[in-house]
C-alpha cells in the first residue's frame, strides 16, 4: 500500500516557479536543432534515416539497444504545432522504425511514446520527439536496481549501422 503525504504547501511553491511558455521554449535551440545546424555527418550524429520532413536518430542515452527518436526537422514542442504533412510523415516513420527494429533486434515488445512538456518527463521539451524502445524479457535486469546502472550491450555506431542497413533494404517489412 502506498502512503499519501499531504503537501498542500507545494502548490504555492509550484505556482511561484518561473515557467517557460510554449513560445519561449521555441526560441531555445534544442540539442536536435543544434546537431542539424552543425553539419555533423549522419554517422557521427547517429542519424539513421532522413525523410523529407522528419528524421530518425539514436538516443545518445538509450534505455535499451536500438532506442530511436523520430522527430520533425522543424523545432516544435507539441503535436498541434505539426503541419498535416509533418504529422503524416512522423507517424509513417514511427511505423517504419518499428518494423526495422523488429527485424534487426527481434524484440518481444516495443515501447512507443512521447513526453510533451518538461513536467511530463521531456528532457528536450522544446523539440517534439517520439521514443521507440525495443524490449525483451529481462532487459531491465538487476543492474538498474542493485548498481544504479544500465547495461547497453552494443556500441551506438554498430546499432546505427545495423538500423541503416535494414532501413535501406527494400525486402524488409
Residue of 49, 67, 127, 129 marked active site: 129
**Phi, then psi, of 145 in degrees rounded to 5:** -85, -45
Whether 129 is catalytic is yes
- 88 to each of 63, 125, 167, 168, how far by Cα in Å? 27, 21, 19, 20
Rounded distance between C-alpha atoms, residue 137 and residue 147, angstroms: 19
> Quick one: cell of 120?
511530463
- Positions marked catalytic: 129
Amino acid at each position: 500500500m502506498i502512503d499519501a503525504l499531504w503537501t498542500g504547501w507545494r502548490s504555492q511553491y509550484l505556482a511561484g516557479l518561473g515557467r517557460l511558455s510554449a513560445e519561449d521554449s521555441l526560441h531555445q535551440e534544442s540539442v536536435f536543432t543544434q546537431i542539424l545546424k552543425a553539419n555533423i555527418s549522419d554517422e557521427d550524429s547517429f542519424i539513421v534515416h532522413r525523410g523529407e520532413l522528419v528524421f530518425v536518430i539514436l538516443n545518445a542515452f538509450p534505455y535499451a539497444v536500438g532506442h530511436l527518436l523520430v522527430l520533425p526537422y522543424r523545432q516544435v514542442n507539441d503535436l498541434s504545432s505539426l503541419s498535416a504533412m509533418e504529422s503524416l510523415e512522423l507517424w509513417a516513420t514511427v511505423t517504419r522504425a518499428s518494423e526495422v527494429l523488429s527485424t534487426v533486434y527481434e524484440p518481444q515488445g516495443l515501447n512507443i511514446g512521447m513526453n510533451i512538456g518538461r513536467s511530463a518527463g521531456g528532457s528536450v521539451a522544446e523539440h517534439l520527439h517520439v521514443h521507440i524502445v525495443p524490449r525483451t524479457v529481462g532487459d531491465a535486469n538487476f543492474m538498474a536496481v542493485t548498481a544504479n546502472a544500465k547495461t547497453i550491450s552494443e556500441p551506438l555506431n554498430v546499432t546505427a549501422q545495423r538500423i541503416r542497413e535494414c532501413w535501406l533494404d527494400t525486402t524488409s517489412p
